[in-house]
Amino acid sequence: MSKFDSIVRDLKEQRELVRDDLLALKVIDTFYSYRSAETSYCDTTVQLSDSSFYSIIDVNDSGGTCTHVFIVTIDEKNKRALASKYLEPVCDIDYSMDSYELYEHKIISRYSILLTKTTVFQKKDKILGDEEQNIDHKVIETRYFIISPEGQINIVER
């Protein structure tokens, strides 16, 4: 079994990936793949057509404070990764800051993913230990990641 076939199997079975797997795909920015922890994870895999699929991959940073989430499309027939897009960061939150961001993605169809970014602004006079009481207001933004059957990824702002 080739390295590519092994990676495809791991993605489809939502298994752990090692740093060498990320580097072999050659579509995740090397800033993230070279600075990643030794292991990453496939969160979800969705079949687009007979020969293509996409996976949502969680790439943990080596410091342990953030997970960087990517969408990666794969062409099984031609044995190559097609594209990737950065989906969202999932980082430890510093509640002492004036604001912080929360992200949530949701697969809404086989070809689209909704990303919701909520920016939480905190009150000036914070109460220790009660984060909900400290919220002044929130700003919510959405964007859609549209994945074609051929594996192209487009972003639509809403």
pLDDT digits (tens, 9 = 90+) for 62-111: 777 889 999 999 999 999 999 999 999 999 988 888 999 999 999 999 99
Q: Is the pTM of this model over 0.85?
A: yes
pLDDT digits (tens, 9 = 90+) for 4-51: 999 999 999 999 988 888 888 888 876 776 667 778 899 999 999 999
Q: What is the radius of gyration, based on Cα positions, of the chain? A: 18
For residue 97, what are the contacts with CB-CB under 8 A and spacing of at least 6? 122
For residue 95, what are the contacts with CB-CB under 8 A and spacing of at least 6? 122, 126, 131, 134
For residue 31, what are the contacts with CB-CB under 8 A and spacing of at least 6? none
